[in-house]
């Protein structure tokens, strides 16, 4: 006669492991569902409009590269909807401008990339809007108006001025330069195989443009091997997951620092990545970076010559990268990109551009120290390189004193 075995008393451990297995499966299924659902919702635009919905992929218009006549809500970096308006010429302003400015008006043409355009911040939160209000509230003798034109980099800004911007007879051109990617974009455009050439203060097409060679010899170039530690590409894949970021948001954890998202991945770090621009902070400078700074100096000199020729004043404002400002962001950048810190100087572009501007009587403003004194986070979350509304307010406050002094002169 066979003896029956009571499985209920055979292995308590096996039942525990089975329950844990089911729990783990359900948890992974939930995370996967949230991840997939969130990505589908973002692609479908359910959370709001973003970059591609407001940026013009067509030719430059009178207001730069923003789509004209938009009045929509866009999503900011915190999942909230904020107002986005461009006028009939494509300026990020809710009012129209004539070529001839009214009497008693000091007209400031604010040009720059997505920092200047105020990507992912509301219409009345951009530093240009806030600065205009502050200047007008400070006195009654004159009125100020600030026109906001989006260009992708300072070289394109020079092209824009010659084609459209100067028609509006600005008294001041406020040129925003994002340290890192703006310098790299200008270098690539003015490369021997790049799309553009600079003749005096005029930008023309390069008849020797070679896109394949640019991609192979410039865009594929990584940081020197000695400047970072070899690492697995696993982190690049993990960083693409949305769920941990959502969990951190809902848990309201203390800020622990963020590194800027890399277009082509963080392992290995690319020397001319269009977001972080880590190459411009290298020391000693590779030959490609020395040429990059020389190109930037040539562009700034062209602005200066054009301003003298056309009778306006150029004011340069430098936008620092988040890893220059916040120590937690610096540490996270070093960790995520596996950098050897002795080969990076986080103030190098500020000094280089500042010294050139001083030597050539070009007005410039560097808010890096002012930024570092702030206690709040000034940049958007999730690896975004852009300023949040607090960052725009800090830029506006910094510019106010400097611009008031400049305009009074």
| Per-residue pLDDT at 24 exceeds 90 | no
| Per-residue pLDDT at 48 exceeds 70 | no
pLDDT at position 129? 98
| Per-residue pLDDT at 253 exceeds 70 | no
pLDDT in tens, 336-346: 999 999 999 99
pLDDT at position 287? 95
pLDDT in tens, 177-186: 999 889 999 9
pLDDT at position 125? 97
For residue 295, count CB atoms less than 10 angstroms from its CB and return exposed for 0-12, middle for 13-18, buried for 19 or more.
buried
Query: Between 91 and 407, whose confidence is greater?
Result: 91
Which contacts of 384-387 are long-range, i.e. CB under 8 A and separated by 24 or more positions?
384/77, 384/120, 384/260, 384/261, 385/178, 385/181, 385/260, 385/261, 385/275, 385/276, 385/321, 385/322, 386/77, 386/114, 386/115, 386/119, 386/120, 386/121, 387/115, 387/121, 387/127, 387/319
pTM above 0.95, yes or no: no
CB neighbours (10 Å) of residue 368? Answer: 19
pLDDT in tens, 357-386: 999 999 999 999 999 999 999 999 888 999
| Per-residue pLDDT at 43 exceeds 60 | no
The strand pairing partners of 270, in sequence order, are 222
């Amino acid at each position: 006669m066979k003896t029956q075995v009571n499985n209920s008393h055979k292995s308590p451990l096996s039942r525990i492991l089975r329950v844990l297995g089911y729990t783990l499966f359900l948890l992974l299924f939930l995370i996967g569902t949230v991840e997939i659902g969130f990505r589908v919702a973002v692609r479908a635009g359910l959370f709001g409009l973003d970059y591609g919905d407001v940026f013009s992929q067509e030719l430059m218009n009178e207001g730069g590269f923003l789509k004209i006549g938009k009045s929509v809500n866009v999503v900011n970096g915190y999942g909230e909807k904020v107002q986005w308006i461009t006028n009939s010429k494509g300026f990020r302003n809710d009012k129209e401008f004539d070529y001839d400015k009214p009497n008693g008006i000091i007209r400031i043409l604010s040009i720059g990339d997505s920092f200047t355009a105020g990507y992912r911040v509301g219409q009345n939160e951009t530093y240009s809007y806030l600065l205009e209000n502050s200047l007008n509230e400070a006195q009654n003798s004159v009125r100020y108006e600030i026109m906001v034109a989006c260009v992708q980099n300072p070289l394109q800004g020079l092209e824009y001025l010659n084609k459209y911007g100067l028609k509006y007879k600005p008294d001041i051109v406020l040129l925003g330069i994002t340290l890192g990617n703006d310098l790299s974009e200008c270098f690539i455009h003015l490369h021997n195989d790049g799309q553009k050439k600079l003749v005096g203060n005029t930008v023309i097409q390069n008849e020797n443009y070679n896109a394949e060679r640019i991609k192979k010899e410039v865009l594929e170039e990584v940081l020197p091997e000695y400047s970072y530690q070899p690492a697995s590409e696993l982190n690049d894949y993990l960083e693409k997951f949305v769920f941990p970021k959502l969990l951190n948001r809902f848990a309201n954890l203390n800020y622990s620092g963020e590194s800027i998202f890399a277009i082509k991945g963080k392992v290995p770090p690319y020397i001319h990545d269009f977001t972080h621009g880590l190459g411009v902070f290298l020391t000693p400078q590779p030959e490609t970076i020395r040429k990059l700074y020389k190109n930037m100096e040539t562009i700034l000199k062209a602005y200066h010559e054009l301003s003298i020729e056309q009778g306006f004043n150029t004011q340069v404002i430098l936008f620092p990268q988040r890893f220059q400002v916040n120590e937690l962001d610096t540490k996270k950048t070093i960790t995520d990109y596996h950098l050897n810190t002795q080969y990076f100087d986080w103030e190098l572009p500020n000094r280089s551009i500042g010294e050139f501007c001083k030597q050539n009587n070009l007005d410039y403003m560097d808010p890096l120290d002012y930024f570092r004194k702030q206690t709040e986070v000034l940049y958007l979350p999730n690896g975004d390189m852009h300023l949040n509304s607090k960052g725009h307010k800090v830029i506006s406050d910094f510019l106010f004193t400097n611009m008031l002094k400049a305009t009074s002169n």
